[in-house]
Amino acid sequence: MWTKHHKKRKFGRLTLPVITVAFLSYFGYHSVHGDFGLRGMEDFERQRVERQARLDVLVRQRQILEKEVALMSDGSLERDMLDEKARSYLNMSKADEIVIFH
């Protein structure tokens, strides 16, 4: 009967733990420093706050424009507002007028 004797390798039993540590280190690093990691979430939150502020400004501007359109289109045209808009767009005023910009 033939028997084979295997020489036990010193590094053989360390292979699986080394591979496991390598994978855990890789995924651990990228869970903190990656695009979708903890630092990436801070960037997303900063962008969200900036974009929310920009959205608030745009919503306010839209409300102002909707109010002006409603004043012009409700059947009775506001002469003062029409005069103000025409002078603003044409950049004209009379010689005896005082112009206050807001």
Give how far Cα 55 sits from Cα of 25, 41, 50, 58, 80, Å.
40, 20, 9, 5, 30
For 10-73, strand residue ranges (E) read none
pLDDT at 40 over 70: yes
Statement: residue 27 has pLDDT above 90: yes
Tens digits of residue pLDDT in 41-93? 999 999 999 999 999 999 999 999 898 787 777 666 677 777 777 777 787 77
Find where tokens 């959205």 sit.
55
pLDDT band at 1 (very low <50, low <70, confident <90, very high): low
pLDDT value of position 76? 63
Nearest alpha carbon to residue 101 among 77, 84, 86, 80? 84
